[in-house]
């Protein structure tokens, strides 16, 4: 009897996490991973800090090179190999070797789709200008860095005010560039409520970023050499010799949909809690797949590195013959701009209203440490609770050092179904260098009792 063959499409977080788990459980199983780029298992979230110079080398973002998987784990990782078709009827995939454009078929017994997500790129005039970059893969970060080294751009425009936009604004400011940021939304970071997002824009402007909200991208202008010259919105023209697109991402799900695999939320590959797709023997994990939302009780598309790694582990356990489920997401996220930390989890007011939930909310300001302790700064905590039960629904935090990671207390409380009263009663730690006597999260909860 021949060995069972697993094929994994995609060699980053979800794909390699699953492949590694399966290898540990099945030392003799045949595992082939197809990756169209050169890199595997890299920290895409670290790209802005590499571009800023805070991470000295792109290699530092790679957790494990393809050769390590091949030699130490005996996983057949094939880079520069793009899967272009899934044939579910014959249990095979068509692969193109990007180095010579030759194609071939590879059969499988079990298939894991971990194709990730791609940045949203606007279909506007001038999009082909040299000097426009959308960051997603490690190679895209390397290409951006090399362009900056060669061209020494002075004026940058960032299109999009989400996480990547804010992080890249910091990175380019660190590189002493004149930075502008535009977004068609009336606020930065639409996953936050407006009252929490407003101070972020004010702070960025105070630190030298020209933030323009409520402005829609019209097109790009090129110079005679085909390089980016300006970004044109519906309100103004901004000179630019570097453009970073931070307009969000879309799941790479066309490959799956091409052979009838069901798509789910936001056209991501639809999966159940075991990460199984609509086709037996085919699984999906990571940024290409949707996830169950713990509070919304429905599938959502929230692509994050933490989720991708957990997806990979769950898929790997189940493909190995185990039986486990992915518990779900709350949309927890964290970032920073210089020394302003930002985090959120659960439902925003906008989401609660959309769900028809009657809720109460409040925002408090507090010092991060005891007020008399050196280095303390201000922070704001916003909590939402269900009106009738007091059950915690969501939280948002902005503030200086040691502020944002307090979101994890809120995550744990929501996951446990705790109320505002339960949070107040928690025996949280205290010492002047770490917190006021009443932790700010507990202070916020007290105002909602």
Q: Active-site residue numbers?
A: 45
**Token pair recorded at residue 66:** 């393809």
Residues 6 or more apart whose CB falls under 8 angstroms from that of 1 comprise none
The answer to whether the Cα torsion of 211, 215, 220, 223 is positive or negative is negative
Structure letter (DSSP) for residue 405: G
Q: 104-126 in b/e burial notation, b at 16+ Cβ within 10 A?
A: eebebebbbbbbbbbbeebeeeb
Q: Alpha-carbon distance 241 to 422, whole Å?
A: 53
The answer to whether the Cα torsion of 142, 146, 147, 153 is positive or negative is positive
Q: Alpha-carbon distance 381 to 440, whole Å?
A: 7
**Token pair recorded at residue 403:** 């502020």
- As a dihedral over the C-alpha atoms of residue 312, residue 13, residue 308, residue 315, rounded to 10 degrees, the angle is -10
3-state secondary structure at position 186: coil
Q: Alpha-carbon distance 413 to 426, whole Å?
A: 10
3-state secondary structure at position 97: strand
Longest dimension (CA), the chain: 72
Confirm if 335 and 132 have CB atoms less than 8 A apart: no
């Amino acid at each position: 009897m021949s060995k069972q063959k697993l094929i994994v499409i995609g060699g980053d977080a979800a794909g390699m996490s699953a492949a590694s788990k399966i290898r540990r459980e099945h030392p003799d199983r045949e595992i082939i991973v197809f990756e169209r780029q050169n890199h595997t298992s890299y920290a895409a979230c670290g790209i802005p800090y590499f571009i800023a110079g805070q991470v000295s080398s792109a290699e530092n973002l790679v957790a494990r090179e393809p050769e390590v998987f091949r030699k130490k784990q005996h996983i057949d990782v094939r880079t520069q190999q793009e899967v272009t078709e899934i044939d579910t009827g014959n249990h095979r995939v068509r692969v193109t070797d990007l180095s010579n454009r030759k194609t071939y078929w590879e059969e499988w017994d079990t298939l894991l789709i971990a194709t990730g997500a791609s940045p949203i790129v606007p279909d506007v005039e001038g999009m082909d200008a040299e000097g426009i970059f959308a960051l997603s893969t490690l190679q895209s970060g390397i290409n951006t860095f090399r362009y900056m080294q060669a061209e020494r751009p002075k004026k940058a425009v960032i299109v999009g005010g989400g996480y990547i936009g804010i992080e890249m604004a910091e990175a380019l400011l660190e590189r002493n560039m004149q930075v502008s940021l535009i977004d068609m939304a009336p606020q930065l970071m639409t996953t936050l409520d407006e009252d929490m997002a407003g101070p972020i824009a004010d702070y960025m402007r105070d630190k030298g970023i020209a933030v323009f909200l409520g402005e829609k991208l019209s097109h790009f202008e090129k110079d005679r050499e085909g390089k980016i010259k300006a970004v044109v919105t519906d309100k103004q023209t901004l000179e630019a010799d570097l453009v970073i697109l931070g307009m969000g991402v879309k799941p790479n799900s066309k490959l799956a949909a091409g052979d009838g695999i069901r798509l789910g939320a936001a056209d991501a590959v639809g999966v159940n809690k075991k990460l199984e797709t609509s086709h037996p023997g085919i699984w999906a994990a990571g940024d290409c797949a949707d996830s169950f939302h713990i509070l919304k009780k429905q599938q959502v598309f929230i692509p994050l590195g933490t989720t991708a790694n957990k997806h990979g582990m769950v898929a790997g356990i189940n493909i190995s013959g185990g039986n486990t489920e992915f518990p779900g997401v709350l949309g927890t996220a964290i970032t920073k701009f210089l020394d302003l930390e930002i985090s959120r989890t659960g439902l925003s007011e906008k989401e609660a209203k959309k769900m028809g939930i009657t809720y109460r909310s409040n925002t408090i300001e507090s010092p991060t440490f005891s007020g008399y302790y050196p280095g303390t700064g201000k922070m704001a905590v916003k909590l939402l609770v269900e009106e009738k039960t007091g059950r915690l629904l969501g939280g948002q935090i902005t503030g200086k050092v040691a502020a944002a990671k307090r979101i994890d207390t809120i995550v744990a409380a929501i996951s446990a179904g705790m109320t505002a009263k339960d949070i107040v009663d928690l025996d949280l730690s205290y010492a002047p260098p770490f917190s006021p006597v009443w932790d700010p999260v507990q202070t916020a909860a007290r105002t909602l009792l």
